Amino acid sequence: MEIVGNKALKLRLKHPNKVTASIPKSKSLGGNEVLVNWGIPETHTLRSMGIKVPSPISARYAWPGQYKPFAHQKTTAEFLTLNKRSFCFNEQGTGKTMSAIWAADFLMNIGLVKRVLIICPLSIMDSAWRADLFKTAMHRTVDTAHGAAAKRKKVIDGGAEFIIINYDGIAVVADELVAGGFDLIIVDEATHYKTATTKRWKALRRLIGEDTWLWLMTGTPAAQAPTDAYGLAKLVSPANVPRYFGGFRDIVMLKRGPFRWEPRHDAVNIVHRVLQPAIRFTKEECLDLPDMVYAKRHVAMTSQQEAYYERFRKDMVMEASGSEVTAVNAAIKMNKLLQISGGAVYTDEGDTLMFDISARYKVLREVIDESSHKVLVFVPFRNAIEILHDRLSADGISTEVISGGVKPHARTEIFHKFQTTNDPRVLLIQPAAAAHGVTLTAANTVVWWAPTASMEIYAQANARVHRAGQVNKCTVVQLEGSPVERKLYRMLDTRIDVHTRIVDLYRELLD
């Protein structure tokens, strides 16, 4: 078999005339060769005949954008173009966002798709999807449908080829989305649709027409229980599961008491069978990936945080006018802005003023749930560490704390447990307390609840997981919600020594 040009396949077959008769726009070349028009329908026809033909994207697509796709990203894009309703279970950090964008762009190029709806968490609408679209498919029009209902409706009616919306935004503009002409729907972190009785699930189901392409993406399918697979399968492959949830639960679970169910011994195999067609790459399988992947998650501040943040910034402006700002004073003031951003700030009297951290905590939970291994969460301020420890423990996530207040022998015991036992799953760490000389390779995900101002501490803290003994590829996730956080992360990413620029950064925040 060989590719002729970029639109046709030349096949060497035992019975070319039979193939010619079965496939539109094909012709015999004589002997045992046949020239076949190479599109998605022809590929499916050939595959149904037992002929292994790749997706036409493999030779007919230029893979545009700033980055060259990795081999596993090409394979993922090929799979998606050949499976109208399917799952992508590639792990976090494997670049599945770009794979889906390239696949969608190809389908648009060949006329099978005209408009794409991307449904994802609020925290990655801009930092992941919009950013990757601008890097990968800059020739396409993109918009985000977020905010008040009138604003969302205007965006949807605006006609952009890619529309990005958060989960709960669907119900707000359901009628407009139904009429929006979306023939491909991509759902990122699709585990949010595991329950088929929720309003969220029903709102999505309403958008899926008979001819709609649907790709559900998550690195952690059925992570909590086998029954989580039901809602996902009901969207992509409803024929694979019973009509009602109770029937599926009886297949994968055993009732051990009035309120106690346990997975059956073959539940994993059943879940694998119902969640098809699917593709999955782990980070360890992607040999072409860098050892450390960096990602950003945007978290909007609450109105209360924004009010305090702006009030404090204005006080800084007044204080700085007409007087010299020292590096020490600039660092102290910026620390206050970081504390407000992170959810808890020390008052002048030494008390802690707490803000609503539910939005930021929700994103942290998303990252923890997506991670295939243990997680380190670096939190610069002890007041925020205490709040997070209480929240995570209440949610049933085994968590330990490493801070300046934890004695050395206790730290050693916690580190040993983390490395050698199942619990704790999460370590909450004050960066300076564990930035040097500690191996924590049981984790492969690092989360920064808020940035540190030290390039040296930032690099050393990330190195706790990325060091000798690590057998998994690692991901660093930055949570950002305020201008001071964005500016600090930008400096850390470009390896600028923040301490030498602290006064300049202070001035930037005042402008």
Give the domain CATH number at 498: 3.40.50.300
pTM comes to 0.73
**Cβ proximity of 373 and 427 under 8 Å:** no
CATH of the domain at 91: 3.40.50.10810
Average pLDDT, the chain: 87
In a domain, 325, yes or no: no
Clarify whether residues 48 and 70 are in a common domain: no
Clarify whether residues 501 and 409 are in a common domain: yes
Clarify whether residues 84 and 221 are in a common domain: yes
Clarify whether residues 245 and 126 are in a common domain: yes
Beta strands 85-88 and 213-217: pairing type? parallel
From 53, 75, 94, give the residue that closes a domain: 53
Give the model confidence (pLDDT) of 96-142 as tens digits. Answer: 999 999 999 999 999 999 999 999 988 788 878 998 999 999 999 99
Where does residue 246 rank: exposed (0-12), middle (13-18), buried (19+ CB within 10 A)? exposed
Beta strands 253-257 and 184-188: pairing type? unpaired
Over residues 431-455, the mean pLDDT reads: 86
In a domain, 252, yes or no: yes
Q: Is the dihedral of CA 316, 322, 326, 328 positive or negative?
A: negative
| Res. 428: pLDDT tops 90 | yes
Clarify whether residues 102 and 170 are in a common domain: yes
pLDDT band at 24 (very low <50, low <70, confident <90, very high): low
Clarify whether residues 26 and 82 are in a common domain: no
| Res. 172: pLDDT tops 60 | yes
Clarify whether residues 44 and 73 are in a common domain: no
Mean pLDDT check: name the lowest of 141-150, 278-287, 320-329, 360-369.
320-329
Q: What does the alpha-carbon distance between residue 446 and residue 373 come to, in Å, rounded to a whole number?
A: 11
pLDDT band at 326 (very low <50, low <70, confident <90, very high): low
In a domain, 315, yes or no: no
Clarify whether residues 77 and 148 are in a common domain: yes
The proportion of the chain whose per-residue pLDDT surpasses 90, expressed as a percent, equals: 50
Give the model confidence (pLDDT) of 372-383 as tens digits. Answer: 899 999 999 888
Clarify whether residues 216 and 258 are in a common domain: yes
In which element (H, E) is residue 165 found? strand 162-166
In a domain, 109, yes or no: yes
Return the structure tokens found at 180: 């929006």
**Strand, helix or coil for residue 102:** helix
Clarify whether residues 83 and 26 are in a common domain: no
**Cβ proximity of 92 and 370 under 8 Å:** yes
In a domain, 261, yes or no: yes
Give the pLDDT confidence score for residue 34 in this predicted structure. 67
Give the pLDDT confidence score for residue 400 in this predicted structure. 96
Domain residues for 27?
2-53
**Cβ proximity of 452 and 378 under 8 Å:** yes
Clarify whether residues 271 and 403 are in a common domain: no
Give the model confidence (pLDDT) of 199-238 as tens digits. Answer: 999 999 999 999 999 999 998 888 778 999 999 999 999 9
**Cβ proximity of 367 and 426 under 8 Å:** no
Where does residue 225 rank: exposed (0-12), middle (13-18), buried (19+ CB within 10 A)? middle
Clarify whether residues 46 and 83 are in a common domain: no
| Res. 435: pLDDT tops 70 | no
| Res. 322: pLDDT tops 60 | no
Paired strand residues for 279: 88
| Res. 11: pLDDT tops 90 | no
In a domain, 37, yes or no: yes
The number of folded domains in the chain is 3
